Amino acid sequence: MQTVGMIAEFNPFHTGHAYALAQARKLAQADVVVVVMSGNYVQRGEPAIFDKWVRAQAALQHGADIVVELPVTGAVQAADQFAEAGVTALAAMGVNTLAFGTEHPEVAYADLAEKLATAALTGDGFRDYTQTYATQLNAVYAKAAGITQTDPNFMLGLSYAKANLALKRPMTLLPFARRGIGHDEVGIQANIASASTVREYLRADQSVKAIVPTELVDFYAKQQQYSWAQFFPWLKYRLQTAELNELRLVATMAEGLEYRFTQKIDDAQDMTAFLKQVKSKRYTYARLRRLALAITLNMTATAVNQARQHPQLHVLGFTPTGRQYLNSVKHDLDWPLLTKVSADMLAPDGVLAMTHRADRLITTIGGVEQNYGRRPLM
Amino acid sequence: MQTVGMIAEFNPFHTGHAYALAQARKLAQADVVVVVMSGNYVQRGEPAIFDKWVRAQAALQHGADIVVELPVTGAVQAADQFAEAGVTALAAMGVNTLAFGTEHPEVAYADLAEKLATAALTGDGFRDYTQTYATQLNAVYAKAAGITQTDPNFMLGLSYAKANLALKRPMTLLPFARRGIGHDEVGIQANIASASTVREYLRADQSVKAIVPTELVDFYAKQQQYSWAQFFPWLKYRLQTAELNELRLVATMAEGLEYRFTQKIDDAQDMTAFLKQVKSKRYTYARLRRLALAITLNMTATAVNQARQHPQLHVLGFTPTGRQYLNSVKHDLDWPLLTKVSADMLAPDGVLAMTHRADRLITTIGGVEQNYGRRPLM
């Protein structure tokens, strides 16, 4: 069976995502579309608006054949680590083509990735404390490979290409043109809005009829929504009571930010106000939001390392075609394939320990068990 | 100046407390009544119903001349450690008589304490995992000194006497008869109710006119109340996200309880339900509540040790007489006397670090800064 894979967040799933899945299937002439999707937390450092089961269900109804969870340890990371987690998971699923939407489908991503790999991407280029990492990375890219574009999906495509290059057996890259609107742009074009616009409409209880597949309108209306507003009291509590040494154990903590965070939290009444307080030239909002989320979830560097050392494929759901594919490959996969989640997987030393830690908060808020005993959607 | 000291919680201050302060002053023929009072958290493992400033003010208006804070590291502890923290603080204040109300004022506390000190109060008597520590302690007391009473204030008096005996210069013990009702008993006798009854009335918005000094009725009505209800979401969050190794660092954690606590928390909707879930024959509710509070406040064994190694006297307030006394002794005190609280005292390595950690939560709930820049009430 010809497979194509995509890495996604579906936060939430909308018309543009349905188009992208259809494009991937068509261009790859694929029988099976495999998606690795962020679990309950997303790369911009916040909970997804709907839980992973809701988002997986929407995807399975609109073009995905298998949805596998991208664990929080890979999902809440800068682009390169996010890409690596997604790409390695797709490869572990036996996928042979990696499709992604981009502003620049004409670019030779694999070639660029090779150029970047041979260039010295060491820490030396990143010592300017008055600029963000992203800005400095762009400069290094420009020098090494003449890259001057910084469109977000193009940049993410480069991260995919770099991660793919590092695989023993790299997948075929299949960049295709995104339709409609930019990543975080506001507005609607040809029935396609950015996910952030869809979230904004949903949060304001405005109709999303024009921008999500019809059947999802009512489905979304019934679902529990998640946002930083629910998590912020926990962040504040944690920053007010944690020892500095404990905060230093959190993944992606950078020297000095533990002081800044603990000193600025007392007066902050919400996440927006807090982020404004801690913002500096050195760090982007996304970086700071991810760190704040890692603190809230107590996602330690150790937990991230453990997850990397014991990777697994947690299947959230599949179509009949997806099931057929899983049955044909399940004995040949490099990573354990998890369907029904048992207590030992969630235990402190289990393969889903960090996922469970993060998802218990979702269950506390929404009342829907996220892991224990749950079987894949069919 | 003749001094008398008392150790108290005033949770909240009521008619019985006014009586006790007057008794202490009279019996000791004292010019100055010094009180060491639990800060924002009390020995039964919960926040005090009113913050420490409110309770100190009530005490200063009704018989106390000086109120010094008993830090959370001493206040939220089993009786012996609680007593030690209070007794050493009173002694450090230069107090020469320790008064306490008891069901059995006729007992020779100092003598009993000597007998208990020479008896082997080692861990050997405490290995029965089907009984609480308190029950086993009673058996050891009975064997060593023939003590068969277990009335709570009598037992606390014994703890005071033991701690006093360990001082370089022990204070004179002044036990006196409690008037009215037992510690946690329900009901009112001769206008005196237990503090728990007063709390119950206040929480239910019932009149406390008959059981607190008149001027306090309106004062109490205006104050922010605190209870486990406000803290429980933090406990739940912490137990859901902490690593077991982190929980093991918490003061008074006992082997096995970290598993029990983390496993039972998911389904608990409030503190009462949670405590029922974790209760066993081995541990009293008070012990488990204290541990839950220590977890919530992240009161680590290290923080407790640091506080013991760097003791201080944080003055919450004084009367003109109290001020006169403080001026006469302030250069001769063994421990630093803190009046205005500065930022360096609250810093992670400051003498009030753990107090600050615990009190930030009170400020978050009630909106009243508890330490920084606050001067003693006068």
Flag if B241 and A364 touch (Cβ within 8 Å): no
pLDDT at B331 over 60: yes
What pLDDT, on a 0 to 100 scale, did the predictor assign at position B185? 60
B156-206, pLDDT tens digit by residue? Answer: 999 999 999 999 999 999 999 987 655 556 666 667 789 999 999 999 999
CB–CB contact B244 A363 (8 Å): no
Mutate to test the interface with A, among B41, B72, B230, B234 (most CBs of A within 10 A): B234
Q: Indicate the average pLDDT of chain B.
A: 93
Comparing alpha-carbon positions, the chain A residue that sits nearest to B297 is A241
CB atoms near residue B106 (< 10 Å): 7
For residue B298, give the nearest of A241, A297, A361 by CB distance: A241
Mean pLDDT over residues B237-250, rounded?
97
What percentage of residues in chain B have a pLDDT greater than 70? 95
Rounded mean pLDDT of B218-234?
97
User: Does A297 contact B357 at a Cβ distance shorter than 8 Å?
Assistant: no
Chain A residues inside the 8 Å CB shell of B238: 237-238
pLDDT for the residue numbered A120:
54
B140 — pLDDT class (breaks 50, 70, 90): confident
State how far the Cα of B326 lies from the Cα of B315, in Å rounded to an integer.
10
Q: Do B297 and A360 touch (CB under 8 A)?
A: no
pLDDT at A184 (0 to 100) = 57
- pLDDT on residue B120: 54
pLDDT digits (tens, 9 = 90+) for B339-360: 999 999 999 999 999 999 999 9
pLDDT given for residue B188 in this prediction: 65
DSSP state of A123: G
Pick from A233, A234, A360: CB nearest B266: A360
Question: Taking CB atoms and an 8 Å cutoff, what residues of chain A touch B266?
Answer: 360, 363-364
Residue B237 to residue A241, Cβ atoms within 8 A: no
| Continuous segment of H or E residues that includes residue A313 | strand A313-318
Average pLDDT over residues B135-148: 79
B236·A364 Cβ contact <8 A: yes
Residues of A with CB under 8 A from a CB of B: 233-234, 236-238, 240-244, 246, 266, 296-298, 300, 348, 357, 360-361, 363-364
CA B41 from chain centre, in angstroms, equals 7
Pairwise CB contact (< 8 Å): B360 & A266: yes
Please indicate whether residue A152 or residue B128 has the higher confidence score (pLDDT).
Answer: A152
Q: Is the Cα dihedral A329, A332, A335, A340 positive or negative?
A: positive
Q: What is the pLDDT of residue A180?
A: 62
Interval B46-67: pLDDT, tens: 999 999 999 999 999 999 999 9
Q: Which residues of B touch A244 (CB under 8 A)?
A: 348
- Scored b (16 or more CB within 10 A) or e, A290-300 reads bbbbbbbbbbb
Predicted pLDDT of residue B181: 55
One-letter amino acid identity for A155? M
pLDDT at B18 (0 to 100)? 96
Distance from CA of B89 to the nearest CA of A (A): 26
The C-alpha atoms of residue B165 and residue B116 are separated, in whole angstroms, by: 11
Question: Which residues of chain B does A241 touch, with a Cβ-Cβ cutoff of 8 Å?
Answer: 296-298, 357, 360-361
Residues of B in contact with A353 (CB under 8 A): none
Which residues in chain A come in under a pLDDT of 50? none
pTM of this prediction?
0.92
Mutation to test the A interface, candidates B236, B241, B355, B365, most A Cβ within 10 Å: B241
pLDDT, residue A124, reads: 57
**Stretch B311-340: mean pLDDT:** 96
Chain B residues near residue A240 by CB distance under 8 angstroms: 357, 360-361, 364
Residue A6, SS3 per DSSP: strand
Query: For B288-315, what is each residue's pLDDT tens digit?
Result: 999 999 999 999 999 999 999 999 999 9
pLDDT in tens, B15-58: 999 999 999 999 999 999 999 999 999 999 999 999 999 999 99
Running DSSP on this structure, what letter comes out for residue A125? G
Contact between chains at A243 and B300 (C-beta distance less than 8 A): yes
Contacts of B245 in chain A (CB under 8 A): none
**Count of other CB atoms within 10 angstroms of residue A206:** 11
- B196 to chain A, closest Cα gap in Å: 28
Counting one residue from A and one from B, how many pairs have CB atoms under 8 Å apart? 51
Contact B348 A244 (CB under 8 A): yes
- pLDDT on residue B144: 76
